[in-house]
């Protein structure tokens, strides 16, 4: 192979079948960032960026299933996002309700189990009811778990876990000496999920923004400069390919 061919091979995006021959992550987390900037760049209202972001999520869910990834966790609305302009927040609430309703039949048919992870207090009743309906209708599905981090903040999640542990100890259901990393994880929103192998963040930001802090202790990170609405199959495949080249030592040699 020539030097030029070797150089261009670095940018080749492998096919799904080629990727499946390697190490496929069991759990992928995604910080879907850049909707507003995507819209501003096009001189569009910010809300249209969120609408376009839904299409990107559809693409990612479909490819996640094809790759055989069993867990997908997306950061959809943080506990800090309530401070955004009222009109934007109201639009987002309506968008969540509409999407949960319209996408549910297909996700259910594909065997996707939907779970909301986040603090339920403070969520508008109509939105919470939509999440609960989606969870109830898909609770027996086993092909893939789709975690939607909504009204979510990892620090708050950890604080709530500590409070639950104190309560369990006080009620005699847990002994102090039984508290370790494994038992602590069982008090988190993600108690039924393995830790993420890979977390992807779009839009060129290099931070994790209070997302899966405990769970991501040994997670591989991939940062893309692409705004979330433009994140497509080739970008996702590139992230998985990059992950497969990592040497995950977990503190060992």
Q: Which residues are catalytic?
A: 33, 81
Structure tokens at 23: 């190490």
Rounded CA-CA distance 128/29 in Å is 22
DSSP string covering 204-218: T----TTSSTTTTTT
Structure tokens at 38: 């995507």
Query: Which is nearest to 190 in space by CA: 71, 99, 79?
Result: 71
Length of the chain: 253
* Angle at alpha carbon of residue 88, lines to 83 and 89, rounded to 5°: 55
Under 8 Å between Cβ of 213 and 152:
no
């Amino acid at each position: 192979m020539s030097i030029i061919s070797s150089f261009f091979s670095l940018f080749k995006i492998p096919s799904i079948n080629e990727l499946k021959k390697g190490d496929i992550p069991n759990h992928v987390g995604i910080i879907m960032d850049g909707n507003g900037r995507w819209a501003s760049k096009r001189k569009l209202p910010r809300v249209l960026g969120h609408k376009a972001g839904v299409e990107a999520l559809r693409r990612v869910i479909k490819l996640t299933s094809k790759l055989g990834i069993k867990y997908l966790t997306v950061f959809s609305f943080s506990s800090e996002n309530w401070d955004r302009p009222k009109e934007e927040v109201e639009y987002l609430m309506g968008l969540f309700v509409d999407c949960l309703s319209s996408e549910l039949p297909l996700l259910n048919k594909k065997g996707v189990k939907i779970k909301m992870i986040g603090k339920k207090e403070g969520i508008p009743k109509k939105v919470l009811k939509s999440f609960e309906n989606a969870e109830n209708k898909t609770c027996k599905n086993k092909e893939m778990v789709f975690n939607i981090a909504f009204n979510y903040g990892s620090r708050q999640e950890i604080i709530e876990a500590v409070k639950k542990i104190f309560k369990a100890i006080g009620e005699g259901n847990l002994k102090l000496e039984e508290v370790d990393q494994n038992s602590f994880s069982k008090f988190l929103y993600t108690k039924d999920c393995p830790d993420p192998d890979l977390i992807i963040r779009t839009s060129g930001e290099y931070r994790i923004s209070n997302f899966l802090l405990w769970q991501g202790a040994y997670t591989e990170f991939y940062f893309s400069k692409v705004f979330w609405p433009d994140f497509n199959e080739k970008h996702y495949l590139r992230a998985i390919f990059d992950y497969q080249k990592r040497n995950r030592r977990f503190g060992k040699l």
